[in-house]
């Protein structure tokens, strides 16, 4: 695979930076708009097809509330490591996320997660079709002492 051309790289990088801001802000409408109507989400524990509907946006709201109230999420930042041509109209995007926490009880800190996306690049803008986490989020949260 070769790196995508600069305009595509720039578009994907801007798209994922906007997505990270939406994640940090709890903007479920913007987060949901970043995904296809149905997409695949996976981690080392398994994978699932996710339907991007009203219930999904409600779950995003609940997740953000839990992340901020229980774990003290204060920031989400993404670094795009590369944008690789996968097939015409599709790119593979390895990333490194940093989530910052200041829990109500405990020590502030950051967690890093490696995640890879398959993104469709089309006339209507990028859409995430596949999201793979290289670690299990629950295990990373336990290592930080944020969960049992």
Question: Which pTM was predicted?
Answer: 0.89
Q: Is 100's pLDDT higher than 70?
A: yes
Kindly report each contact of residues 120-127 with a partner whose C-beta sits within 8 Å and lies 24 or more positions away, as own/partner: 120/36, 120/89, 120/90, 121/8, 121/11, 121/12, 121/89, 121/90, 121/91, 122/89, 125/15, 126/11, 126/12, 126/15, 126/34, 127/34, 127/35, 127/36
Q: What is the pLDDT of residues 40-79, one digit of tens each?
A: 999 999 999 999 999 999 999 998 988 888 888 899 999 9
Q: What is the pLDDT of residues 21-33, one digit of tens each?
A: 999 999 999 999 9
- CATH classification (class only), 6-143: alpha beta
Domain spans in the chain, listed from the N-terminal domain onward: 6-143
Give me the chain's average pLDDT, please.
Answer: 90
């Amino acid at each position: 695979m070769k790196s995508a051309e600069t305009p595509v790289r720039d578009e994907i990088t801007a798209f994922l930076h906007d997505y990270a801001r939406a994640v940090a802000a709890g903007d479920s409408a913007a987060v949901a708009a970043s995904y296809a109507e149905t997409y695949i989400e996976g981690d080392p524990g398994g994978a699932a097809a996710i339907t991007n509907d009203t219930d999904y946006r409600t779950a995003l709201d609940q997740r953000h509330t839990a992340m901020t109230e229980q774990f003290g999420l204060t920031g989400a930042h993404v670094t795009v490591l590369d944008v690789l041509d996968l097939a015409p109209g599709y790119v593979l995007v390895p990333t490194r996320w940093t989530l910052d926490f200041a829990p109500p009880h405990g020590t502030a800190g950051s967690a890093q997660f490696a995640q890879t996306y398959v993104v469709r690049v089309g006339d209507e803008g990028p859409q995430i079709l596949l999201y793979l986490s290289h670690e299990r989020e629950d295990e990373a949260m336990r290592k930080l002492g944020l969960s049992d």
